[in-house]
Chain A
């Protein structure tokens, strides 16, 4: 990315390789992935199972480090960070939304949303205020003190989205966010992501469902650990990102 004309990139992956196991039994999950996601972008990463999208999500989410390659998250080089520093980056820069919600059981919605703020060292009053605001934003202002088991799947996922938002991260990373939801709840959650995108958030969705990917501005397809297509959803349908960038810069 030449840089000066577009917004600052949130994600810059350069020739990322990820190999599991040793020599003979080595599995190459990612084979040279390069990708730039500018701030405010709304990206869907698609691919069949085994295509490497989970590995991609783990690396982008700083839950794992690449075997080789360069990864800049919000300008920070993360491929050599220590365990502790990775935890800090996850806390400050990334908001996760998981397929299975991953809320703490027996813990109220408010306490769940406060959790990342606690690890960020935010004071009690400020934490309460921000968690409450985030829950109100996702339309759960009335359910602050409900525990996960008292909420529907859609509501639980919205709590998870509130938790991802509350630290005002550079990137919201959602892994199959509608995978466990019925169509109505899916629509609710996707509407929420669309709103967040309009508000200027950078969102990366990992999904295998086309209608979910339709919500995104940009769709990246992975196959066998490599990017096979990168298209942007324009007024005239999906066009290749390469094509658009070339034409845009001419």
Chain B
């Protein structure tokens, strides 16, 4: 993984792990706190319902107390009419007034039973159901009055509505009102309506809903929520029985407290954490990429500097952008290059001095060799002339021939040195190496055959065609000289694609005597030659080495299979910088 990736990943982990830990801790803390609040809410709901039921019971008890006194403007006259036996006529006129009385006391039903058409429990007044009047007897009201003695209870009462008979759940109070021996039973009730349940219904922070069911589970007052089962799941509903006159449950208030907000809250926390993590991740990635890019850019600058240095560009400098460690490395690198350049310059000067000494030595040596025959020829000529040697003419001819020959030799030596010194800079163009081989060998004339083995998949490369030509001719000439007069001498020129596929190989192989191991490091040095005295100047392989180096290539010499020497040249298919970079 590259530096950028590692750096970014490390930063991301550093950002995400604390956020995740914080989210977990927060979630657990919230859940615990909510649970405590939830338990308190359940208790509060139960208290509210009990208080509301108690309050309503007391209210209706007070209302009925107003009715049962003989001072009541409706019940009092009714009792007196019953005593007189004229209640039927009186009720015919005044019955509707009880409806107003019930309305004034906010009663939903007001039933009065007493002596009448169908016995002592005839319904005389029924504000909620006129069809009950003088219908079947209702002894239950008197019985309840005797049993409960004015205490409120719950019951289910039938009431005629605009279109049908509905059974209502009511708070009811039954009492007896007397006038002497005449009594009527009064039952007054208020409907248990949704407002009882509404006092506990809320939606925040907990979802609280309530309903009323009969003991056998029939829903009498539905919950506001559609999905009661889901609401009442978990801890189950709070159940408060509503007791009838016989103290048995007539109905049950069920209140459900649900905390759907907890899941939502936890979800929000998780979502917030995720969002934070995402934002942090984004920031970290951006920051990481920025920092890594800066770092990588500085490192890449160092790499480029290294490559430049490897190419010998010791003037290259890496920019120092910061004062941190990377900046220090860059500064140190620049200092190192500066130092190297200084060392190299000194080395070059030293080498140049050594080269010039060698050249001077070689030149002196080369020049000294012809000078001796010249000097001896001229001395012989002068002496023979002074002596009037009879063979002076022959001596003259021989001496001048020798002087001219040595002068020619001196001239050639000077020309070779001049050529080496003036060798031009390579001019690169797209070149097919195989074409170079074919073109060069077409010019080759000699007794020793040259075989070629050229690769078909070799792409073009950037090179100076003329210099490559010279390289090949030098190597072939070298091989030819090495083979000399040997029988069966053979030279093979081969092209191949290098192992890394980014270089081309040019191999010249002969079956001559080969190169001794101790000379393999020296053969490319200028003026090294095994052919001194045979016309060799020792510059041929030095020129080859320099041309190859100028192309960013490499040259090695090794033993050929079956004897002989093998010279291998590696040339980059890209430019030299890329070739070097690929080796790093």
Our verdict on whether A and B bind, yes or no, reads: no
Binding site for B on A (CB under 8 A): none
